[in-house]
């Protein structure tokens, strides 16, 4: 079943923020902290500095009413800098690649393609900024 999550970006303090949110909402992580150092090795991936190896690449926490917040640290070594406007994304967890492609195509029209749809180690993924400046992420999990 398709779901929607709110994806939050942080500049190195995702773990601190989500530990706080966990105490506020009194819930347990549905996806525990995954750090950069935990990611499978990819010879084609950029090399990250040691200072970023403990950065969070993903975490998920149910909050209220079936809503899930997810988060990640931004990577300065990749030119990512947190500014108001790029710190929140609507994340669609979809059932099929076809469904993801349909929404990606429609929402990216007139906007800017941030990351075209592609296979990743966790599933099929892409991200775009629509023509109104809203950031959308699309996932079909393996």
The stretches in the chain having pLDDT less than 70 are: 77, 84-85, 132
Supply the pLDDT for residue 140. 97
Residue-range domains of the chain with CATH: 3-141 (3.10.180.10)
d(CA 13, CA 114): 23
Supply the pLDDT for residue 27. 94
Supply the pLDDT for residue 84. 64
Supply the pLDDT for residue 1. 78
């Amino acid at each position: 079943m398709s779901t929607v999550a709110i994806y939050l970006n942080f500049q190195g303090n995702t773990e601190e923020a989500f530990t706080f949110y966990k105490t506020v909402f009194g819930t347990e992580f549905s996806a525990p902290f995954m750090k950069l150092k935990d990611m499978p090795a990819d010879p084609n991936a950029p090399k990250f500095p040691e200072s970023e190896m403990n950065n969070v690449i993903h975490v998920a926490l149910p909050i209220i009413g079936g809503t899930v917040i997810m988060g990640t640290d931004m990577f300065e070594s990749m030119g990512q800098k947190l500014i108001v406007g790029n710190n929140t994304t609507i994340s669609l967890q979809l059932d099929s690649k076809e469904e993801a492609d349909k929404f990606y195509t429609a929402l990216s029209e007139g906007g800017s393609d941030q990351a075209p749809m592609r296979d990743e180690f966790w599933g099929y993924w892409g991200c775009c900024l629509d023509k109104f400046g809203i950031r959308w992420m699309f996932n079909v999990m393996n």
